Structure 1
Amino acid sequence: MSVPETKLHPSNNELERDSLNELTLRALITSKEAGVVIGKGGKNVAELRESTGVKASVSQSVKGVQERILTVSGPLEGVAKAFASVARILTENNTNKSLSSTTDNTCTIRLLVSHNLMGSIIGRQGAKIKSIQDVSGARMTASKALLPQSTERIVEVRGVPSAVSMAISEIGQCLLEDKEKQHGTILYDPVASPMLKEHRASITRTGNGSDFTPSGEAGSHQRRISQSLEDEVKAQHISIPSDMVGCIIGKGGSKISEIRQLSGSRISIARVPDDETSERLFTIYGTAEANERALFLLYGELEKEKERRLNSVMRESVEEEQ
């Protein structure tokens, strides 16, 4: 029996309108896990909502896409309890076994977190993430790479359901305290990238390095579809703290010129910062692939600058002690 599902990709404005005490957390799950979380006739997800007081839904199933988004919104305590319930449901059905440890009741939850907020979770020299692990008993891993066509990364939380709940409560508190940093987040959509992968899979490499597709009208049609998908120009927006913009522009504009050249995207920068956030808006124009490269390069420069500043502070601290 098919269950009507609500598409779950809340806009950035919707996320920003959440009250100070409420949190929206998204997690990446497989299609198989989604079926278990929803339950027969929507039973499991309905019980989860009722027992925790949260809003919880799973994104629509799309043919050929193996991953879906679980979104949970509500008070922090309810969100943490909801993810404990999800972990419990998955472990009871052995759905998450391939991601868990050898302990049967251990589960891995893959949270989607804005790149801008990763520092809040990791902390200086990893102190915060270590503290969360010590307090909760869960193990955590933060990915370094941005997910395709987004500014989100994955934080894996692994443990028994109670440990997962405690860790997510601590993570949620970090996110709430620095909530303004999520401004400009480009949300990950698993439906957006597999389409290109699927079409590229139809192109086979020959021994001499030339490409070919099936001959005749079908092959020509595939080439047209693939080309139109790759050539579609999109605009994406990210906001960057004003005091970090200089490291991206570089001396005489050298760094931003290099990023434009390497990515193939056009990048414009707002002349004045936002009155409320003091952040400058970057607008990136290009194909999906070009924009993804541009985002990777932009955030790479930010990370290098953060590391440079941290090292500088540490050196000054050592010098003062001496």
Structure 2
Amino acid sequence: MDDEKYLIEERARIERLLKEEVLEMRALMLDETTKLIIGDGSETIRQLRAESDVKIWFSKQVYGNEHRILFVKGLAENVAQTFGSIARILAMATSPNAVDINAVHVEIKFLFPNPVVGRIIGKGGLNVKEITKASAAIVKKSYHFLEGSTDRLVSIYGVPNSIHIATYYMAEAYFKTVAYGIDLSREIPYQPREGPVKEVSEIIIDRSDTKSPTLYAVPQPSIKKRRRSDFSDHEDDVRPGHLMRIPNLEIQSIEPSKSGNLLSNITKVVTYPDKYSSKVIGREGTYINMLRESTSCSIRLKSPDDKEDLAIISIRGPPLCVDAALLLIAHRIELSKRLLDE
């Protein structure tokens, strides 16, 4: 009897929070999507604010990062209604010729602190099943924190009305987390960061060979390359500044994708002087594991067959990812050279 009374009181408390308390919900948006939501002369975002009586704003644009954070603050139903309207804006952009915009499926990626994500999913996935059943939306969560934060992504895929309903249920999960006394102020929210500072001015992909595009680094003008090659007793050829190939690595073999699709996997086997292996691998494999994670490539070290002074690495993944891994390895070797020279 006491348990039943407690559940009734808890439900009443959650209902009160949903109707009376203001909450802030966040979503990760591409720059292109941000422009759609703001609209010409900020007309669209002003209309959204007026229709739902909510506050809407975006994080600042960060150099090198294609995402911004959308903030919507207001009562739970008003916030849910706003995201339903945003879903319609996205639907009109992606399917302008659709007969019924309300039947077009779109995806919105929400940001929540880890404890709230746990409440959204529920024990054994019970809560997320309830959300899916009530809204007819597909709900997916990320398994990892976003960089520098305790936030995780919760992706909602469905028609605008489904996203409206699912958003309300997630607001309910947020208030349940608060009602259970969990201090969300200790959580670290995700903030978009600047992209990596490049030592070259531009990266160009040569698409002439679609099965295995070549990555070139475009340095600043007037670069002269007069360093001795690790694979020859002769000085390197002076290449045009706008077509410098990746240094420090020698590609031994390439296994192209059978379909020629840039998303299909290829394998490249490269060699480099073995004296730099410790830097490429990193202490206890930290650097090479970072490469695997950041490029989504399968990277394997192979024992040299006859030349003990050369290390061999096999890299498998989509062409662009493989070339990115090659560039990072070449940069790591270049840093090692400078340290040895000093």
* TM bracket (short chain): 0.5 to 0.7
Distance 1:65 1:215 in 2: 23
Q: For the residues of structure 1 that align with 2:145 and 2:136, how far apart are their CA atoms?
A: 27
**What is the distance in 2 between the residues matched to 1:200 and 1:28?**
29
Aligned to 1:86: 86
Distance 1:124 1:70, change over 3 A: same
Unpaired stretches in structure 1, ≥5 consecutive residues: 1-18, 97-102, 205-211, 219-260, 265-288, 290-322
Q: Which amino acid aligns with 1:182?
A: L
**What SS is found at the alignment partner of 1:168?**
helix
Residues 201 and 220, structure 2, Cα contact 8 Å, conserved in 1:
no
* Aligned positions of 1:214-233 closer than 5 A: none
Take 2:177 and 2:142, find their aligned partners in 1: how far apart are those partners? 20
Structure 2 stretches lacking a partner, 5+ long:
1-18, 97-101, 204-216, 224-282, 291-342
1:134 aligns with 2:124: no
Instruction: Classify the secondary structure of the residue corresponding to 1:79.
Output: helix
SS in 1 for 2:34: helix
Q: Distance in 1 between matches of 2:32 and 2:67?
A: 9
Alignment partner, residue 23 of structure 1: 23
Please give the secondary structure, in 1, of the residue aligned with 2:125: helix
Residue 188 in 1 paired to residue 216 in 2? no
Q: CA deviation at 1:183?
A: 2.6
Residues 93/127 of structure 1: CA separation in 2 closer, same or farther (3 Å cut): same
Distance 1:72 1:95, change over 3 A: farther
Q: Pairwise mapping of residues 55-70 of structure 1 onto structure 2 (< 5 A)?
A: 55-70=55-70
For residue 126 of structure 1, report the CA deviation from its aligned partner: 0.3
User: In the alignment, which residue of structure 1 is the partner of 2:325?
Assistant: none
Amino acid at match of 1:121: I
Measure how far apart 1:120 and its partner are.
0.6
What does 1:234-245 align with in structure 2 at a 5 Å threshold?
none
3-state DSSP of counterpart to 1:121:
helix
State the Cα deviation string for residues 15-57 of structure 1 (Å, max 9, x = none).
xxxx961110000000000000000000111000000000001
Structure 2 counterpart of 1:152: 151
Code of the aligned partner of 1:168: T
Structure with the higher fraction of residues in helix conformation:
1
- Structure-1-length-normalised TM-score: 0.53
Contact 2:199 2:219 survives alignment (8 Å) = no
Q: Aligned residues: percent identity?
A: 29
Partners of 1:135 and 1:104 lie apart in 2 by 17
CA distance in 1, matches of 2:112, 2:144: 12
* Structural mapping, 1:144-293, within 5 Å: 144-179=143-178, 180-190=182-192, 192=193, 194-196=194-196, 198-199=197-198
Between the aligned partners of 2:90 and 2:161, the Cα distance in structure 1 is: 13
2-structure distance, mates of 1:44, 1:158: 22
User: What is the count of residue pairs matched by the alignment?
Assistant: 195
Considering only aligned residues, what root-mean-square deviation do their CA atoms show, in Å?
3.7
Identify the residue that residue 113 of structure 2 maps to in structure 1: 114
Indicate conservation of the 8 Å contact 1:37/1:86, yes or no.
yes
- TM-score, normalising length: structure 2: 0.50
CA separation in 2, counterparts of 1:71 and 1:160? 21
Higher relative contact order (CA 8 A, sep 6+): 1
SS at the partner of 1:183? helix
Contact 1:146 1:153 in 2 (8 A): yes
Q: CA deviation at 1:90?
A: 0.8
Separation in 2 of the partners of 1:92 and 1:72?
Answer: 21
Paired residues of 2:200 and 2:219 also in contact (CA < 8 A): no
Tell whether the 8 Å contact from 1:80 to 1:168 is kept in structure 2 after alignment.
yes
Larger Cα-atom Rg: 2
Residue 189 of structure 1 and its aligned partner are, at CA, apart by: 1.3
Mark the CA change 1:217 to 1:187 in structure 2 (over 3 Å): closer, same or farther.
farther
